[in-house]
Amino acid sequence: MRSNQLPVTSYQLRVTRGEPSLAGHWLLVTGYCFAFMFILNTASGAPDVPLNFDGWVPDALAKLETVGITGGFHRQTAPLSRAEVAAIVRQAESRILRGTVVPSEIDRKLLEKLKRAFSRELTGRTGQVLRFLPQLRATEQKIAPALAGAFRYTAGSLEDRIAPRLVLYSEFETHNFESRALDGKTAEQRLEQWRGGYTGDFKRSYLQVNNSYLSLLVGRDWVFWGASRHKTVGISDNSPPFDQIRLTAMLGKRFKATAFTTQLDSTWYDDGEKRYLAKRYMSGHRLDYQHNDRLEIGVAEWVLYGGDAQTLDWKYANPFTFYYALQYNAKADDNVMFAIDAAIRPVDGLRLYGEWLIDDIQYVPGANDPHAVAWLLGLTWYPERFDRQFEVHSEYARVNRWAYTHLVPDNQFTHFGYVIGHPIGTDSDTVRVSASYQFTVSAEAEVHGVLTRQGEGTIADRFYGEDFKVLPFPTGVVARTTEIGGRFSYRPLDAWNIFLSYAWQHTQNSEHRSGETRRGHRVKFQMGYLF
């Protein structure tokens, strides 16, 4: 889940494997970098670091909702706007004043921190805000500075909602680190090198117009649909953000409707006889239902289509129709997917959730094709005996072979070479268990263990009539990766911020070679001063 929290200026350092060279003038932080890099030989590449000035906000909202402080809100459709976060904060305060809930000491302080961070929205102030984030990053190749910034302008206000009538928002980042896509068929570069190997990218940039019931967004932004707060099996933030037109409607207090249309990256099609540049598009719509403070259900449908001389298909841009029926009637071969997700809090402090994606399901008797589905189950628990400071989290995700794929290569579920859904890709599953402790409102530590299995199936595979009933899951020589690690974060609103993480990885049958073993470590260190 993401929110539109404005960034603040900070100096940061990120460390991964290798022996970098010195760059910039920040000798003090560079010393920290060398200390960590020479201790461990890590197994990670150059990080694709999105702007995340407010990474603590989604975590704080998720925690307060799980323990019952905020009451229900539509957290399964993200990103949340700053106005939505402000409304959630007011709702939590109202519940406390009425005596509906009694927050623990740590939760009361967390709510106060949110009030300070969103004071402009809570007091109805408009105008412009400009922030910068100078950074120092390190990878196996080098240490180099980067710069990120954000501009936000708001005007007008809605009397019946905590929301401005107009929002202009833009995030920009420049750096000289390579970004490697997973699929080489994309015909476009999201990041093009400029002087000194630097690239510039607008991570988010949009104009948003609001009225009492409807919000229209035009520009670049993330889409995150699902019950998990990490990655979903549907539309997640694993791929770059979309250039889109998005409508969001609040239908009373219980329903939230969302629809968008975007153009994806173009890809090359070349089978040796025919070669063309495929234009690709995706449209989606979703309806969330908040039954009460403890139960939320979401249903979604989206369609991805492309091809030679393909243009925007206006029947799919219509948010009030069903894509499957349109495709069936037109005898088209587009990639239509359905998803349903739900979360329930049987008691305060415990949240159970699940997601189910249908890429292709065989409902005709006698069909000799496999079901292409993905699903996810998880739980989050804050035991009351630890004053809600201790968290236990567990999640399992599985993507069957041929999910995310399509017989038409132009219609595979990717954007700039990255899977739009869960990062494990197709023919894989993963289970994660973690425990964390929140020492203060800004300091938290976590330990985790992750087991991932990856079969030989890839998103580029096509189903050509294989005997799928005898295939195991995952298929072929299975790569099994075990990861054990931990992290510590200290994220106040101002002053020094610190983030440190470590993970040890062990992979059996590396790169699907039987008996091949790979071991490695991954370290990331970041510190900055917020002002």
- Mean pLDDT confidence for 163-189: 74
The model's pLDDT over 367-399, given as tens digits with 9 standing for 90+, comes to 778 889 999 999 999 998 888 999 999 999 999
Residue labelled with tokens 């049987």: 346
- Torsion, Cα 269 270 274 275, to 10 degrees, reads 60
Q: How far is CA 478 from CA 374, 456, 461, in A?
A: 18, 7, 16
The predicted structure's pLDDT at residue 28: 35
**pLDDT bracket for residue 209 (50, 70, 90):** very high
- The listed range with the strongest mean pLDDT (42-46, 146-150, 187-191) is 146-150
- Closest to 178 (Cα-Cα) out of 168, 191, 163, 166: 191
Cα separation, 102 vs 251, in Å, equals: 30
pLDDT for position 531: 56
| Plot region of 386 (φ>0 → left; ψ -120 to 50 → alpha; else → beta) | alpha
* C-alpha–C-alpha distance, residues 317 and 283, integer Å: 6
Average pLDDT, rounded, for the chain: 84
pLDDT in tens, 119-140: 888 888 888 888 777 777 666 5
Whether the predicted pLDDT of 33 surpasses 50: no
Q: Is a pLDDT exceeding 60 seen at residue 17?
A: no
State the pLDDT confidence band at 181, using cuts at 50, 70 and 90. low
Q: What is the mean pLDDT of residues 401-425?
A: 92
227-242 pLDDT, tens digit each: 998 899 999 988 889 9
Q: Confirm if 519 and 40 have CB atoms less than 8 A apart.
A: no
The pLDDT score that the predictor gives to residue 193 is 76
CA distance 77 to 1: 8
Give the pLDDT of residue 68: 94
Half-sphere exposure of 364 (CA within 13 A, CB side): 6
Over range 41-63, report the average pLDDT.
55
Ramachandran region, residue 424 (left: φ > 0; alpha: ψ -120 to 50; beta: rest)? alpha
Q: Are 370 and 338 in contact (CB under 8 A)?
A: no
Burial class for 331, CB neighbours closer than 10 Å (0-12, 13-18, 19+) = exposed
- Confidence label for 187 from pLDDT (cuts 50, 70 and 90): low
Number of Cβ within a 10 Å radius of residue 365:
5
Please report the pLDDT score of residue 280 as a whole number: 96
H/E/C letters for each residue in 242-290?
Answer: EEEEEEEEEECCCEEEEEEEEECCCEEEECCCCEEEEEEEEEEEEEEEE
What is the per-residue pLDDT for 468? 85
DSSP letters spanning 473-514: SS-SS-EEEEEEEEEEEE--SSEEEEEEEEEEEEEESGGG-T
The reported pTM is 0.86
Q: What is the pLDDT of residue 349?
A: 95
- Sequence letter at residue 240: P
The yes-or-no verdict on residue 87 having pLDDT over 70 is yes
Question: How many H helices and E strands in the chain?
Answer: 7, 24
Residues 264/306, Cβ–Cβ less than 8 Å: yes
3-class SS of residue 342: strand
Whole-number pLDDT of residue 331: 81
- CA–CA separation, 430 vs 225, rounded Å? 19
Token pair for 52: 């995340």
Mean pLDDT of 67-75: 92
230-266 residues labelled b (16+ CB within 10 A) or e (exposed): bbbbbbbbbbbbbebbbebebeeeeebbbbbbbebbb
Q: Which residue has the tokens 């580029």?
A: 460
Instruction: In whole angstroms, give the CA distance from residue 78 to residue 226.
Output: 9
Q: Tokens 């904060």 belong to which residue?
A: 89
Q: How far is CA 438 from CA 101, 374, 392, 416, in A?
A: 20, 33, 12, 37
Residue 272's pLDDT band, with cuts at 50, 70 and 90, is confident
Nearest to 237 by CA among 74, 50, 412: 50
Range 34-56 average pLDDT:
37
Q: Per-residue confidence at 141, pLDDT binned at 50, 70, 90?
A: low
- Measured CA to CA, the distance from residue 94 to residue 82 in angstroms comes to 19
Distances (CA, A) of 135 to 8, 54, 177, 428, 528: 12, 16, 13, 35, 8
Q: What is the mean pLDDT of residues 273-299?
A: 94
Instruction: Give the separation between CA 507 and CA 516, rounded to whole angstroms.
Output: 8
Q: Are 201 and 188 in contact (CB under 8 A)?
A: no
- 450 Cβ contact partners less than 8 Å away, ≥ 6 residues apart: 430, 431, 432, 433, 481, 482, 483, 484
Instruction: Assess whether pLDDT exceeds 90 at residue 105.
Output: yes
Between CA 463 and CA 402 the distance in angstroms is: 7
User: Where do the DSSP E strands lie in 21-165?
Assistant: 77-78, 127-138, 143-155
CA 368 to chain centre: 35
pLDDT of residue 38: 30
The Cα-based distances of 7 to 41, 227, 414, 451, 500 in angstroms read 32, 26, 29, 34, 20
Residue 24 has pLDDT above 80, yes or no: no
Element (H, E) at 122: helix 119-123
CB-based contacts of 515, cutoff 8 Å, min separation 6: 509
Burial 48-66 (b: 16+ CB within 10 A, else e): ebbbebbbbbbbbbbbbbb
Which secondary-structure segment (H or E) carries 169?
strand 166-175
Give the pLDDT band of residue 36 (cuts 50, 70, 90).
very low
The residues pairing with 448 across neighbouring beta strands, listed in sequence order, are: 434, 485
